[in-house]
Structure 1
Amino acid sequence: MKLLVVFLLVGTMMVLSEGFPEPEPGPEAKPTEGSEPETESADEDENSVVKRAAGCPFDWIGFRNDTERKIGAMKEQLAALANRQNNSEKWIEDLERKVIFSAATDGSGAVGPFNTDTILVYQTVMTNIGDAYNQTTGVFTTSVSGTYYFTFFYHAGREHPATLRLYKNEQLVARSHDHKGGDDGADNGGNAVILQLQKGDRVFVRLLAHTHIWAKNHITTFSGFLIR
């Protein structure tokens, strides 16, 4: 029994000292034909890749191009609409800035003479674009600031002098006068002026005290318009 134990111990020590034999390498695995991963060709177009990735024959590139064309057309339409809006706004602005009026006295004969200076009222309105002239008071009230051109003309008989004065607010800016005549008959007179006005400024014509003008047949007029 002791002999058997000694034999087993000696054998075990020999195995440990020599080590376990290494397993022989097996044959290397050779790649089989067709087992390499499939690669895309360099000239494969984007549309084919998208089609294969989507797993369907839908033309994604054509869809994208068509969408881009539609978006481009919509952008052009929006630009055209914006341009039309700008033109409309400019047209409205220009229309709001148009101020033109022309009015004439109306009656059966002479206006005046009065004992005091009197604002001359031109009752018959031929033009009043912008509604700045008041045919009840005879006063033009500036609705748009800018440069204006004004004229006033009159007809007067020889039996009375005629004196008209144009005012900006209460500032005298222009006048016209006809002396009482003897044998020269009726006369015509007038004047014109360019004024720089602010919104709210008032322009009107006064008939000087103890003078007169002829009102019949629209022969005495007051006109004005916005230059710029």
Structure 2
Amino acid sequence: MKISVSFMMLLLLGSVPASESVECQRAFPEDIYAALRETTASLVQLKADMTLQTTGQAQLKTELDKLKQQQQVRQVAFSTSLLAGGKSATIGPFPSDYTLIFRHVTTNIGNAYNSNTGLFTAPVRGAYHFELHVGGENGAHASGCWLVKNAENVFIAYENQVAGFMSSSSGVTLLLEVGDVVFVRMVATTFVFDNGNHHTTFSGHLLFTM
């Protein structure tokens, strides 16, 4: 009887195809591998999404900082007079052209004007407008100044009369590149006058960027 049962079991096992037996053995491990692959793919996608989100936030911050900087750059304006502290003085004449340093700063939005050097330095490419007013007292010499772009004399304010107070003015709109400088140069053998009434002034502002 035992021999018969054993023989029948062998027959039954022998009747199962080898391929199905292997598939049954592999089914459970392959399900685990599939689940692991799916989980790994999900984690990779999640990491990619997080990286994209972080990158997007960084780009947004960069754009906001750039817009803020551009807004600040567009706000450029200054206005100065020659002497600070209500002083009264005549400067010149000198044998050669002389760079004037305007010490009394009324407005300097954007800090593009330097009261230590007398230079206005363009912080951005654009169109700028400048005004120059020159005062002179007594007629021993003429009174005159150049508006200068870099090393180029652009426009002059000049007056010469025998006696009394004299004044002259000039204005110009210039296309400036970043780093270009504009300043005032007194003409050789002339003089300028200033006091607490601020007769000699130098002003400018950015019209628009380009």
What range is the shorter-chain TM-score in?
0.5 to 0.7
The one-letter amino acid of 2:154's match is: V
Match of 2:189 in 1: 210
Deviation at 1:92, TM superposition (A): 4.4
Tell me, in whole angstroms, the C-alpha distance in 2 between the residues paired with 1:143 and 1:89.
14
Q: Using the aligned pairs only, state the percent identity.
A: 35
- Measured at CA, do residues 142 and 86 of structure 1 come closer, stay the same or move farther in structure 2, by a change above 3 Å? closer
Q: Equivalent residue of 1:116, what SS?
A: coil
Q: Are the counterparts in 1 of residues 90 and 192 from structure 2 also a CA contact under 8 Å?
A: yes
Which string of whole-angstrom CA distances, capped at 9 and with x for unpartnered residues, describes residues 60-117 of structure 1?
Answer: xxxxxxxxxxxxxxxxxxxxxxx9x977864542123211111111132211111211
Q: Equivalent residue of 1:148, what SS?
A: strand
Deviation at 1:158, TM superposition (A): 2.8
Which string of whole-angstrom CA distances, capped at 9 and with x for unpartnered residues, describes residues 169-214 of structure 1?
Answer: 11111001111414xx111211000000000111011101111111
Q: Equivalent residue of 1:227, what SS?
A: strand
Tell me, in whole angstroms, the C-alpha distance in 2 between the residues paired with 1:162 and 1:150.
19
Mapping for residues 82-121 of structure 1, pairs under 5 Å = 90-106=67-83, 107-121=87-101
Match of 1:165 in 2: 146
The one-letter amino acid of 2:149's match is: K
Tell me, in whole angstroms, the C-alpha distance in 1 between the residues paired with 2:74 and 2:189.
39
Count residues with an aligned counterpart.
145
* Aligned with residue 166 of structure 2, among 163, 187, 193: 187
Which string of whole-angstrom CA distances, capped at 9 and with x for unpartnered residues, describes residues 136-192 of structure 1?
Answer: 11111111110000000011113221011111111111001111414xx11121100
Tell me, in whole angstroms, the C-alpha distance in 1 between the residues paired with 2:97 and 2:82.
17
Query: Structure 1 runs of 4+ off > 6 angstroms?
Result: 85-88
Match of 2:104 in 1: 124
Tell me, in whole angstroms, the C-alpha distance in 2 between the residues paired with 1:151 and 1:195.
11
Query: What is the TM-score when the length of structure 1 is the normalising length?
Result: 0.58
CA RMSD of aligned residues (A): 2.2
- Measured at CA, do residues 86 and 158 of structure 1 come closer, stay the same or move farther in structure 2, by a change above 3 Å? same
Tell me, in whole angstroms, the C-alpha distance in 1 between the residues paired with 2:105 and 2:171.
19
Tell me, in whole angstroms, the C-alpha distance in 2 between the residues paired with 1:87 and 1:181.
59
Mapping for residues 136-175 of structure 1, pairs under 5 Å = 136-159=116-139, 160-175=141-156
Q: Are the counterparts in 1 of residues 73 and 123 from structure 2 also a CA contact under 8 Å?
A: no
Tell me, in whole angstroms, the C-alpha distance in 2 between the residues paired with 1:89 and 1:119.
36
Which structure is higher in helix share? 2
Unaligned runs of 5+ in 2: 1-59
Larger Rg: 1
Unaligned runs of 5+ in 1: 1-82
Q: Equivalent residue of 2:190, what SS?
A: coil
Which structure is higher in strand share? 2
